[in-house]
Amino acid sequence: MTSFAPPRERSPLAGAATALALAGLVGAGLWAARRPQPRPQPGSALPVETARQPAARRARQGGMLLAASAAIDGATEHYRGGFHRWEMYLGPAASIGALAASAMQAAMPRPLREGLLLTAAGVGLAGHAFHARNILDRPGGVCWSNLFYAAPIGAPGSVALAGLAGLAATMLERREPEMPHRRGRWIAIGTVAGLLGTTAEVALLHFRGAYHNPAMYIPVTLPPIAALTLGAAAARPSPTRLRLAHRMLGATAMMGLVGTAFHAWGVHRNMGGWRNWQQNLLVAPPLPAPPGFTGVALVGLAAIDLLEASE
Amino acid sequence: MTSPPRRYPDYDVLDKRDSPSWDDITRHVVAGRLNPPERQFFDDALWDVLIALCDTIMPQPDRDRPIAIWIDAALAQNRTTGTRYDNLPPMREAWKRGLAALEAEARLCHGRPFHDLAQDAREALLKAIDREEVAAPEWNDLPPRRMFREVLANEIVRVYYSHPDAWSEIGFGGPASPRGYVRLGPNRRDPWEAEESAATRRSAEP
Amino acid sequence: MISQGSEIRAKDGRAPDVFSRDGWVAMRQYREAEEVDVAVIGTGAGGGVVAAKLAEAGLSVVAFDAGAFYRPLADFASDEREQDKLYWTDDRISGGDDAIEMGSNNSGRAIGGSTVHFQMVALRFRPEWFQARSRLGYGRDWPVDWREMWRCYDEVEDALKIAGPVTYPWGPKRGRYPYRQHELNASAQVLARGAEAMGVDWSPCPISTVSAPRGKSPPCVYRGFCKIGCSTNAKQSILNTYIPRALAAGAEVRDLAMVGRIETGSDGRATGVHYHRDGEWRFQKARRVVVAGYSIETPRLLLNSSSPSHPQGLANAEGLVGTELMVHSNHAVWGVMEDEIRWYKGPPSMAVCEHWNYDDDKDFHGGYAFMSQGPLPTDFATSMVKNLGVFGMELRRRMALYNHMAGLKIVGEVMPTPANRVELSEETDALGLPLPRITFRFGENDRKLSDHALRFMRTMHEAAGARDIFETAGSAHLMGGCRMGFSAADGVVDGAGRAFSCPNLWIADGSVMPTGGGVNPSITIMANATRIAGHMIGAIARGEG
Ligand SMILES: Cc1cc2nc3c(=O)[nH]c(=O)nc-3n(C[C@H](O)[C@H](O)[C@H](O)COP(=O)(O)OP(=O)(O)OC[C@H]3O[C@@H](n4cnc5c(N)ncnc54)[C@H](O)[C@@H]3O)c2cc1C
Ligand code: SF4
């Protein structure tokens, strides 16, 4: 007779614990990356030089998070796709490059860093084309089935964003005499685009999930609001607008972290829970995706720093 | 006789028994499948015919997985399919009469019991029955093709393809709960699925 | 832990919790001497819906089913032979030129009925089919307004959280399906490619398994065993949707309870049901009876319930009970693909083409849909044996191409014909009840339809790249036998499901369908049962029931 394996129940506690642990990990990472910094007091704008450093740091952290999220998510998704084309290694590799470039700020020569970041931006953009081709190659072409289940058209954008955020950070580190609000504005525009693009992708995927949980509406409502407030603040900065944008971006950053916890809960809700990780890490909501929002939001906060400084 | 198919030489579905592809009830059921019971229903004479019939309908030169005993077990339990065609007797009687008619046909055509015939002769005899070309009086009002396809062959084939070795042979994923499958597209395979041998992958030949 | 399907579970004030391995939910129970508001016979697509709706309306309901009360997570093995336990495998005598295969082909026996092992295809009728006679010139009209059915489809689709395409190419505009379409498996992509090559529309199939979590149902894991029971609980069957609702609303469910006779009084009204449970015959008093045992058992039960007031069988004053039994033709083409398809992955039918249900430029009446296929090994092997007579090493070698096979199979409309019917035979079963005798033959129109379908699908399969194509013939599903009609001469029950010749008897299953349509029937049976339950509740409230 075959031996019977002991009954393997999926315990809700185990799932919740894992979710918490994951969220904690991401949070701790962020906390470590961040150093206490002087907040500008209303009315006493900081000199441009001091504002630039925290801004650069935030942009860099944002870039790191974006790169890490894109690397893990891309690697998982492409593993699911069996890496059946060699180009599928490019996205995750470029993301790791961008991660290294942003993380090893001082240890890496600037041209190399910028090269890696530029590559990521380029690979991300090219990725859209590859994913578009994958969609068109399948029966049905541009149809809901393929938008849902073929190569996700929006996903490579996070690689590009990771590169661009890193580039923004390197730019801010340079000591060039330039109007900070100009740069702040550009970064703000990039952030708004990043937020809206990411939201569009989430909207598509959460639609695929039929918004079965009301919480799934949060990441398609909060980020556009944050984008709106940031856009408004960049267009015509005022302390109130800046404060509002700051809050909304902060909330978006938090949401990205909490999102991972939600997704971890989602893994546990799939058949077999965490014991069936080989399947569920691939088909359940992606754990590494939500912190992408945190990354974009951090870049947005960098823009705020600059805009505040020039207020 | 042609050789048995070997498209998935490295695949054994039983290797997954302790993986998340199998749950407790499936482990239990398949374990039972690997332990045949004692014969209860058929007498020795019909048993010989049945064994030879199983060997003809599902020949296994490469292995020897019991089939007949499961048919015996099902009939001992009076397990039915839900369909009794109006020109066939109830299941137990159908089997007894069908095997007896087959044996009579063999003796009539070849002067020897069915199980003494060579594989080719047995196959030819079954094909003749399937064409309704029968002579033995034992057929009486039994419809030969229906008897052959719906009763005899049907159940033998069912038993053969309910053995894990048969699942391995055809590259079927086998039990899949709680873990199912991720990669659904053409030419895509999850790590826990059978890998087809490179030699046969591109050919329609088994 | 291992269920043999022979143990009574719904008793002592509790019933199995279908979302657990060994848990229970509370169940209200009624005494047999207590006259309950409604006795429901059968808990499948029709009976399950009615039991839940009536209980939710505050009526006291006892629902009987001859089958067992399973917990899918613990009881459903990934094994075809073991899962035969879900089918109605008692002998039924089947004859006629095209004798129907019963058992696993079309009949379930379990709490949840045939939906426990159905393939989850959830297609609506084409609206015109409800007036097939007056608008399309064949079959019969339903005594039903299609718009009412359309509303009931909405309700049922939401109750089952059907996962369907965002836009459906055929028929009038419909609301969005509650859940999104699933990813197409390779087998479905073959249909899609073929359809595109032929220039006809195709669609992801709306199916009754969730594509995202729902309550305690995890999303489908694409294990592909749907036809022998979903051990994931992703499949939304009656067993894990309407039955829990019925229990929560105070209905009692009696499992392994075979109803053998409906008792009637001298006034011709039903007074209760005789049922066999736990080794003995028992009697439950009831004010009303709803029969939902499907197209064989419903007529069988009515015919076996003759009494002085119903000498020819209950509700059979006009001799219509058991007549116009229908199936769907289920012919198919199969071929070998160069690609690995591995059709065992995912629900068997994930893509559908309803072109010939909506295009009327054809030489036959009715229509057909066809779907991509994914039969499990013994299912596929036996269909080759039965259709082609292959055996021996040839069969083994053909089966070795299992992972390269793809197929297209129709659900084809069959014309209602009086001679296709269910009667009682002289033989009896272990409980002493007469065995049903079924007679069936495809008519000329039916043959034209399946010929057309085979030609069309063969061309399409070739266009998709299939080689070595072969065909199989068969039938699926059951419909009719106790049809709805406009008058006592026209049907067994009226449009509200009430028997013309027995005022407190209703029928609410697939047997009341006057025509079969060219789509799988269960969602229509459920929508119709929803409608019937609504009318019943209204009539009872008005004091007319
Ligand atoms: C293999 C298979 C696949 C299918 N796939 C699909 C599909 O993909 N899509 C689709 O729409 N339809 C499908 N169907 C058909 C669908 O399941 C049925 O049409 C539908 O369930 C019929 O509903 P019903 O209520 O009339 O009967 P059922 O659902 O069969 O319920 C009848 C119940 O009544 C019980 N019963 C009968 N007589 C008695 C009695 N005397 N006493 C007590 N209990 C009794 C039975 O045990 C049974 O549980 C499929 C069917 C099968 C067999
Ligand atoms: S494929 Fe989906 S619905 Fe079918 S048995 Fe598996 S989990 Fe259930």
Report domain extents, chain C: 36-89+108-541
To the nearest whole angstrom, how far is the Cα of B36 from the nearest Cα of chain C? Answer: 14
Whether the pLDDT of residue A4 is over 50: the answer is no
Question: What's the pLDDT score for residue A290?
Answer: 96
Range with the poorest average pLDDT among A24-33, B187-196, C485-494: A24-33
CA proximity to C2, closest of B26, A47, A259, B75: B26
Closest ligand 2 atom to Cα of C229: 5
Vertex A177 angle, CA A171 and A182, to 5°: 65
pLDDT at A176: 60
Judged by CB atoms closer than 8 Å, whether chains meet at A208 and C211 is answered as yes
The residue in chain B having the minimum alpha-carbon distance to the alpha carbon of residue C100 is B83
Rounded to the nearest integer, the mean pLDDT of chain A is 86
Which residue minimizes the CA distance to atom 2 of ligand 2? Answer: C220
Question: How confident is the model at residue A105, as a pLDDT?
Answer: 78
CA distance C454 to C513: 26
User: Quick one: closest CA in C to A282, which residue?
Assistant: C221
Q: Which domain holds residue A133?
A: 43-309
Please report the DSSP string for C436-500 in residue order. Answer: EEEE----HHHHHHHHHHHHHHHHHHHHTT-EEEEEE--EEEEEEES-B-SSTTT-SB-TTSBBT
pLDDT interval class at A13 (50, 70, 90): very low
Which atom of ligand 1 is the closest one to the Cα of C107? Answer: 53
List the single residue in B31, B179, B191 with the smallest CB-CB distance to A2: B31
Which residue in the block uniquely carries the two structure tokens 């019943």?
C536
Of B162, B170, B186, the CB nearest to C340: B186
| Separation of alpha carbons C340 and C346, rounded Å | 15
Q: Which of B149, B159, B158 is nearest to B94 (CA)?
A: B149
C115 lines ligand 1 (CB under 6 A): yes
Which of B157, B183, B187, B201 is best to mutate for the C interface (most C CBs within 10 A)?
B157
Q: How far apart are CA C429 and CA C433, in angstroms?
A: 5
Cα gap A58→A40, rounded to integer Å: 15
For ligand 1, atom 18, which residue shows the shortest CA distance?
C522
Residues of C near A (Cβ–Cβ under 8 Å) read 21, 161, 165-167, 178-181, 183-184, 189, 192-193, 196, 202, 204, 211-214, 218-219, 221, 232, 234
Q: Which atom number of ligand 1 is nearest to the Cα of residue C64?
A: 43
The reply to whether residue A209 touches residue C166, judged by beta carbons under 8 angstroms, is no
Per-residue pLDDT band at A181 (split at 50, 70, 90): confident
Asked whether C2 and C79 are in contact (CB, 8 A), the reply is no
Closest C-alpha among A39, A52, A95 to residue A72: A95
CB A161 within 8 A of CB A120: no
Q: Which residues in chain B touch residue C77, judged by CB atoms under 8 angstroms apart?
A: 23, 25-26, 28-30, 175
CA terminus-to-terminus distance, chain A? 78
A233's CB contacts (< 8 A; 6+ apart) are A188, A241, A242, A244, A245, A304, A307
- The Cα C405–Cα C467 span in angstroms is 9
CA distance A65 to A63: 5
Pocket residue to mutate for ligand 2, from C80, C83, C226, C345, most atoms within 8 A of Cβ: C226
Strands C252-254 and C258-264: unpaired
Residue A26 lies in a domain: no
C36-89+108-541: CATH number = 3.50.50.60
**Rounded Cα distance, C438 and C300, in Å:** 10
Establish, for the pair of chains A and B, how many residue pairs have beta carbons separated by less than 8 Å: 44
| Complete edge-to-edge strand list for the sheet that includes strand B84-85 | B84-85, C93-95, C434-439, C421-428
CA distances (Å), origin A16, targets A292, C215, C474, C511: 22, 17, 50, 48
Residue C468 backbone dihedrals phi, psi, to 5 degrees: 50, 50
Taking the CA of residue A70 and the nearest CA in chain B, the distance in Å comes to 21
Read off the pTM.
0.94
Tokens read off for C373 = 């296929």
**Tokens representing C200?**
């006809």
- Please say whether the beta carbons of B55 and B152 come within 8 A: no
Pocket mutation for ligand 1, best pick of C236, C478, C522, C532 (most atoms within 8 Å of C-beta): C522
Q: What would the DSSP string read from start to end of B151-202?
A: IIIHHHHHHHTTSHHHHHHHT-----SS---S--STT---TTSPPPPHHHHT
Ligand nearest to the CA of C478: 1
Q: Which two tokens stand for residue A286?
A: 């992606």
pLDDT at A19 over 70: no
C345 lines ligand 2 (CB under 6 A): no
Residue nearest to atom 3 of ligand 2 (CA): C235
CA distance C468 to B193: 26
Tokens found for residue C462: 């070739």
**B53: containing domain:** 13-203
Question: CA-nearest residue of chain B to C82?
Answer: B29
- Check B2 against C397: CB less than 8 A apart: yes
Give the integer Cα–Cα distance in Å for C449 and C517. 13
B180 lies within 8 A of chain A by CB: yes
DSSP string, C89-154: -S--EEESTTPPP-GGGT-B-BTTGGGGS---B--PPPGGGGBIIIIISSS-B-SS-HHHHHHHHH
B148 touching chain C per CB within 8 A: yes
As given in the structure block, the two tokens for residue C103 are 């058992």
Residue with token string 């015509």: A236
Whether A47 shows a pLDDT value over 80: the answer reads: no
Continuous segment of H or E residues that includes residue C288: strand C280-291
Ligand 2 atom nearest to C120, measured from its CA = 3
- What's the pLDDT at A20? 53
Q: CB–CB of A5 and B182 under 8 A? A: no
Domain count, chain B: 1
For ligand 1, say whether the CB of C524 is within 6 Å of any of its atoms.
Answer: no
Mean pLDDT of the A144-163 span: 96
Measured CA angle at A59 (ends A54, A62), to 5 deg: 125
**A4 within a domain of the structure (yes/no):** no
How is B9-56 classified by DSSP, letter by letter? TT--GGGGTTSTT--HHHHHHHHHHTS-----S--HHHHHHHHHHHHH
Determine whether the interchain pair A210/C178 forms a contact, defined as Cβ–Cβ distance below 8 Å.
yes
The verdict on the CB of residue C209 being under 6 Å from ligand 2 is yes
User: What is the distance, to the nearest Å, from the Cα of residue C213 to the centroid of all Cα atoms in its chain?
Assistant: 25
pLDDT of residue A174: 80
pLDDT of C524 reads 98
C516 Cβ inside 6 Å of ligand 1: no
Which residue's alpha carbon is nearest to atom 23 within ligand 1? C45
Residues from chain C contacting residue B176 (CB–CB below 8 Å): 78, 221, 223-225
Q: What pLDDT does residue A26 have?
A: 52
C-beta atoms surrounding C280 within 10 Å = 7
Which residue's CA is the closest to the ligand 1 atom numbered 3?
Answer: C118
Atom 19 in ligand 1: residue holding the nearest Cα? C522
- CA-based nearest residue in chain A for residue B29: A2
Q: A144 and C212 in contact by Cβ < 8 A? A: no
- Give the span between the Cα atoms of A224 and A246, in whole angstroms: 14
Sequence-distant (6+) residues with CB within 8 A of A28 are none
The answer to whether B92 faces chain C, any CB pair under 8 Å, is no
Q: Is C389 left (phi over 0), alpha (psi -120 to 50) or beta?
A: left
What confidence tier does A310 reach under pLDDT thresholds 50, 70, 90?
confident
Any atom of ligand 1 within 6 Å of the Cβ of C68: no
Say how many domains are in chain A: 1
Instruction: Kindly state if the Cβ of C86 falls inside 6 Å of ligand 1.
Output: no
Residue B2 located in a structural domain: no
Gap from CA of C530 to ligand 2 centroid (Å): 26
Contact status, residue C424 vs residue C433, Cβ threshold 8 Å: no
Tell me, yes or no, if B169 comes closer than 8 A to chain C by beta carbon. Answer: yes
Comparing alpha-carbon positions, the chain A residue that sits nearest to B189 is A82
CA distance B32 to C179: 39
How far apart CA A72 and CA A40 sit, in angstroms, is 36
* A11 pLDDT higher than 70: no
Chain B residues whose CB is inside 8 A of the C386 CB are 149-150, 154
Average pLDDT, 10 consecutive residues per value, chain C (545 residues): 72 98 98 97 98 98 98 97 96 98 97 98 98 98 97 98 97 95 98 97 98 97 97 98 98 98 97 98 98 98 97 97 98 97 98 98 97 98 97 97 98 98 97 98 98 98 98 98 98 98 98 98 98 98 92
Q: How many CB atoms lie within 10 A of CB C387?
A: 17
pLDDT digits (tens, 9 = 90+) for B147-163: 999 999 999 999 999 99
Looking at residue A211, what DSSP letter applies?
T
Among A80, A265, A271, A280, pick the best mutation site for testing chain C contact (most C Cβ within 10 A).
Answer: A271
Q: Which residues of A touch B34 (CB under 8 A)?
A: 2
Cβ C523 under 6 angstroms from ligand 1? yes
Instruction: State the pairing for strand pair C179-180/C163-164.
Output: parallel
Asked, for residue B124, whether it belongs to a domain, the answer is yes
Sign of the Cα torsion A106, A111, A112, A117 reads positive
Give the pLDDT score at A175: 66
pLDDT above 70 for A44: no
Q: Is the ipTM of this complex over 0.90?
A: yes
Contacts of A84 in chain B (CB under 8 A): 188
- Determine if ligand 1 sits within 6 Å of the CB of residue C108: yes
